[in-house]
Amino acid sequence: MSVLNDEPVAAADAAVVETDAAVIETDILIIGAGPSGLYGAYCAGFRGLRVAVMDVLPQRGGQISAMYPEKPIFDIAGFASVRGRDLVDSLVAQAETHGTRYLLGHRAVALDYDGDGLPVVHSDRGTAVRAGAVVITGGVGTFTPRPLPAGEDFLGRGQVYFVPDPTAHAGHDVVVVGGGDSAFDWAALLAPVARSVRLVHRTARFRAHRASVEKVRALGIDLLTDSEVSGLYGAAHLEEVEIRHRTTKDITRLPAQTVVAALGFIADLGPLREWGLTLQARRIAVDTRMATNLPRVFAAGDITDYPGKVRLISVGFGEAATAVNNAATVIDPEAALFPGHSTEKEN
């Protein structure tokens, strides 16, 4: 049962995606619609609590949906391998079994407390969410791609940071820039559909896992090392890429309709920095209950820090369950911490 209004969660709310409602009341507000946040929504719904999920991104799934929806993930319990998109779809379906309200495209910018001591979170779109408790599952916070200096003028006209749909680049000559796992993942993902794929990196040493590098080599993808993209050319859309060797200074022009800039990301907690949270190494400090230093505010997933922290999606699931169930006892001091086993519930 909902603690704030004593009404049961309505199943019809499961598919509702809120946008610009002025004021929303809920039992638990989860900030971040990545894997930890989606599982936390299920945990809250399982207890009969109303739950709303806010995320600055326009889709559910967090970094998985934005960065590697087609990439296989190997560290999820019970799955030898699961594609990122499929994992997100399953988590969304699980969260919606008890009803979840979404506020997508909303950045959480401010936190204050009402006269009853309940947290109120304000979004950049003018929506205020009054909740019994808040659980922050924002991953690494706001992540901004590192720009490709030579390519910003072609952003959206051939230069991209993500490849959510490889078929959008079918038949293209593709240049991937970077030496980390994302660069090699994108290159391998695009190889079957692109006309050609080349990977450009400024040194001969790669940050990517050795297996990823060997996979790309086995696909016959050209690795242009000690080189950098020095220019992009075209009219309405990208047509050519200029590559400069860093030692010889030789210049090469290659046809390209797509450039994937995989140069890493700048993570930032953004407005959360101003909330008064105790931070450790640019992450939110929590205790064993996943509670922060602020009343009724908890956190889970990669955004948290504590001694012995292991940053895996699977760990984030457990932290989300811990955060939500401890939040439930703060909302209702008479509630039991242990929610019961799902097998004990009627279908």
Q: What is the pLDDT of residues 204-217, one digit of tens each?
A: 999 988 988 999 99
Which segment of 17-31, 112-126, 170-184, 292-306 scores lowest on mean pLDDT? 17-31
What is the structure's pLDDT at 8? Answer: 35
Residue 1 identity: M
What is the structure's pLDDT at 14? Answer: 38
Binding site, annotated residues for FAD = 36, 55, 63, 68, 108, 143, 302, 343
DSSP 146: P
Q: Is the pLDDT of residue 7 over 70?
A: no
Confidence of residue 11 (pLDDT cuts 50, 70, 90): very low
Q: Is residue 53 exposed (0-12), middle (13-18) or buried (19+ Cβ within 10 Å)? A: buried
Q: Where in the chain is the domain with CATH 3.50.50.60?
A: 11-143+266-344, 147-263
What are the contacts of 9-15 at 24+ separation with CB within 8 A? 9/45, 9/48, 9/49, 9/50, 9/98, 9/99, 10/99, 11/99, 12/99, 13/99, 13/100, 13/101, 14/96, 14/97, 14/98, 14/99, 14/100, 15/96
Fold type of domain 11-143+266-344: FAD/NAD(P)-binding domain (3.50.50)
Q: What is the pTM of this model?
A: 0.76
Alpha helices in 47-146 (DSSP H): 62-67, 84-95
Q: Is 162 left (phi over 0), alpha (psi -120 to 50) or beta?
A: beta
In sequence order, which residues have a C-beta less than 8 Å from that of residue 63 and are 6 or more positions away? 34, 139, 140, 143
Cβ atoms of 222 and 174 closer than 8 Å: no
**Nearest to 321, CA basis, from 343, 294, 340:** 340
Binding site, annotated residues = 36, 55, 63, 68, 108, 143, 302, 343
What is the structure's pLDDT at 140? Answer: 64
Strand 128-136 to strand 297-299: parallel, antiparallel, or no bridges (unpaired)?
parallel
**What is the Cα–Cα distance from 249 to 209, expressed in whole angstroms?**
29
Share of the chain above pLDDT 90, in %: 71
**230-278 pLDDT tens trace:** 999 999 999 999 999 999 999 999 999 999 999 987 767 889 999 999 9
Q: Is the pLDDT of residue 80 over 90?
A: yes
DSSP 81: -
Confidence of residue 346 (pLDDT cuts 50, 70, 90): low
CATH class given for the domain over 147-263? alpha beta
